[in-house]
Every structure is written in structure tokens, then in C-alpha cells.
A = this chain, B = another copy of it.
Amino acid sequence: MRNSREPNGSNSGSGKAPAVIGIDIGGTKMLGLVIDETSRTVVQEKWPTPKGAPEIVNGLAGLTADLVERTGETHEVRGVGVGIAGLVDSSGRLRRAPNLVDSDEFAVRDLLEPNVGLPVFVDNDANCAARAELHVGVAQGVKHAVLITLGTGIGGALIADGKIVRGAAGMAGEPGHMLVDPAGPQCVCGLKGCWERYASGAGLAYLGRRAAEQGDLSAVVENLDGDLARLHGEHVTRAGRLGDPQAAAVLDTFAWWVSVGMANCAAMSDPELIIVGGGLVRDWDLFGPRVGVYLNEVLVAAEHRPPIRCEPAVAGEAAGALGAAFLAATETGVLR
């Protein structure tokens, strides 16, 4: 990580309040916001995510300029934090981005910095979400935690001694691609039997289709006119919410798989808290209680260690952008 260029968070000669921008780049939208030195969000806006790396840089520059302009009368923006789905290295380069168009090996920081004239700091979206939980969410005061984002795939972050572990190349926190089944299905990453084949949104769809092929989940299949290719995770959760017992059985299997990967993370890092974020957290009430039960069954020596709390993330839709802003705020000295 780089040294801050502005070691001092106090007001500058301009009399304006110091602030930073945080932007989260998702597959379809970019969410940008400005926070001040009290961590308060001053403004927030959403832009669509452009397709391709050069277009994303232009979009980020435009969104940054807009946010600077909207807050310019009262605030002085000192830096930009960017959270992005994929493997980001410590130089701020996106190495591999399965969910963005043509964006592997995308030097986000080096391209954006000259464009916006502000220091830019880049990290993985799950690391940013973890930062948001550490600052204003369920991980406040927690020393050892794991964050798991259950979305289309699975992201993650490792917190040790109160800090995000970024790893040797900045690429720590990719639990979704732990192998959990050598006989498992092909993953988008090119490997087989990755945890996210079972425990993500795509994983829930896979488990649903597998159940349907075995003759279960009949009500859901009927609604889809028998077209299993159209079966998504949402079909299972919706049916589960309506009390369909076959959907509940699929959600139970799903909860087992979620707990398997959590236990694998916990065996290595011994967290006191596992934070669950991502789109599927909306349906936490449908599978979370079973995760709590299974985690105790699949975690080594569970009866000899303090129970691990398992809690949904609270920073919400803006978690990634907020965490990116906290990254920039810490690096520039706007927040300590």
C-alpha cells in the first residue's frame, strides 16, 4: 500500500471539509458516494457499468467528476477508492474479472489516476465490503473474522487482528474456488468442484436442477413448463418462502454446502465471526438457521472451541462503495 499524500485529515486552507469518494463497480452498475471525515455519506449516485476496460475508466472518471462537482462548494475530495469484483493485486490492477466484459489485466489505478488528478486506491469488492462491516457494521471491534459474499459466485475477505489480510499479491480472500468435491461440476474459473458451484446463487440453481432431474421440486418445474435450463436460485427461494417442502429440502442441502466452505475457512483462520453478504443474504432467514446447525457438524473440534457467530452483513447495497471510501479515507489520512 502506498503512503498517504495528505497525512493530515484536518481542514485545508480552502476551509472546506475533507472528503473521499468510494465507487463500487458491479457487473451492471457502478455505485459512487462521497463520505466526510465523520464517515457520513454526503451524496450517492448510480451509473450503469460500461462494457470494456477503457469505457469503465471513462465512466469512473465521469462519475468522479460529477461527485466532486456536486460536493465542491462544501467539501474537498482527497482521494478515490474503487472496489471491483475480481482478483485485484496490490498495484491496483484487476488481474481476473469473470463478471466484467474484457477486463482481465486492467490497470485500474494507473489508468484512472492521471484522469482524475487524485490518488486512487483499488481493492476487491469483498475486501471493501469487509472494510464497511469493520467500520460501521457487524465487525466493529472484531479481531478475527471471515466475510463471505453469496452472489452469482462467492467472494470473500479474511480479517486477522482487526485488519484485512490482502496477501502477498493482494489477492487473498477467494474462498469460492476452494475445491470441495473432486467429482463436482465444472466451474467458470476453469477448475472443477469449486465451493461456489454449490453455495452461490448459481450453486443453488445447480442444486435445484439436480433435485428436479431426480424428480423433486415438481411445483417449481411445472411453473417453468419443464424447462430446467430456466431454473434459477430465485425459483427455489421463492418456492421455499411459499412453504414448498421440496424447495425447503434443496435449501437444506444448500445450507450444508454453505457451511462446508465456511468450516474450511474457519479451520485455517479461526474467526469469531463469519459475516454473510451478497445478494443471497436477502434470503438468510430461509437457510441461515440451518447453516448455524451444520457449521457445528462440519467444523473440526466444534465442541472444543467457542461457537462461531454467523451474521448477515448490515452495510447493505452500498457496502462495497462505502468500504472503498474507507480504504481511500484511511490511506489519505481523512480517517484514522
Interface string of A270-288 (1 = CB under 8 A from B): 1111000000000000000
A126 to chain B, nearest CB (A): 11
Among the listed B95, B156, B174, B268, which residue makes an inter-chain contact with A175, where contact means beta carbons less than 8 Å apart?
Answer: B268
- In the assembled complex, A300 has its CB within 8 A of some CB on chain B: yes
Given known contacts A167-B269, A171-B270, A268-B268, A182 and B179 CB-to-CB distance under 8 angstroms: no
Q: Which of A160, A189, A269 has the largest count of B CB atoms less than 10 A from its CB?
A: A269
Q: Which residues of B contact A156 (CB under 8 A)?
A: 268
- In the assembled complex, A40 has its CB within 8 A of some CB on chain B: no
Q: Which residues of B contact A16 (CB under 8 A)?
A: none
Given known contacts A168-B143, A180-B182, A263-B179, A304 and B105 CB-to-CB distance under 8 angstroms: yes
Q: Which residues of B contact A191 (CB under 8 A)?
A: 298, 300
- In the assembled complex, A305 has its CB within 8 A of some CB on chain B: yes
Q: Find out whether the CB atom of B305 lies under 8 angstroms from the CB atom of A171.
A: yes
Q: Which residues of B contact A166 (CB under 8 A)?
A: 270
Q: Find out whether the CB atom of B301 lies under 8 angstroms from the CB atom of A96.
A: yes
Q: Find out whether the CB atom of A168 lies under 8 angstroms from the CB atom of B272.
A: yes
**Complex alpha-carbon distance, A191 and B296, angstroms:** 11
Q: Which of A143, A171, A182, A300 has the largest count of B CB atoms less than 10 A from its CB?
A: A300
Q: Which of A160, A168, A174 has the largest count of B CB atoms less than 10 A from its CB?
A: A168
- In the assembled complex, A183 has its CB within 8 A of some CB on chain B: yes
Interface string of A159-192 (1 = CB under 8 A from B): 0110101111111111111111111000001010
- In the assembled complex, A104 has its CB within 8 A of some CB on chain B: yes
Q: Find out whether the CB atom of A104 lies under 8 angstroms from the CB atom of B304.
A: yes
Majority secondary structure, A binding face: loop
Q: Find out whether the CB atom of A158 lies under 8 angstroms from the CB atom of B271.
A: no
- Restricting to A98-112, which residues have a CB under 8 Å from any CB of B? 104-105
**Complex alpha-carbon distance, A263 and B173, angstroms:** 12
**Complex alpha-carbon distance, A215 and B183, angstroms:** 22
Among the listed B104, B168, B306, which residue makes an inter-chain contact with A270, where contact means beta carbons less than 8 Å apart?
Answer: B168
- In the assembled complex, A43 has its CB within 8 A of some CB on chain B: no
**Complex alpha-carbon distance, A300 and B173, angstroms:** 11
**Complex alpha-carbon distance, A191 and B172, angstroms:** 27
Q: Which residues of B contact A183 (CB under 8 A)?
A: 181, 183
8 closest cross-chain pairs (CB), A and B: A167-B270, A177-B300, A168-B272, A95-B304, A172-B270, A178-B264, A144-B168, A96-B301
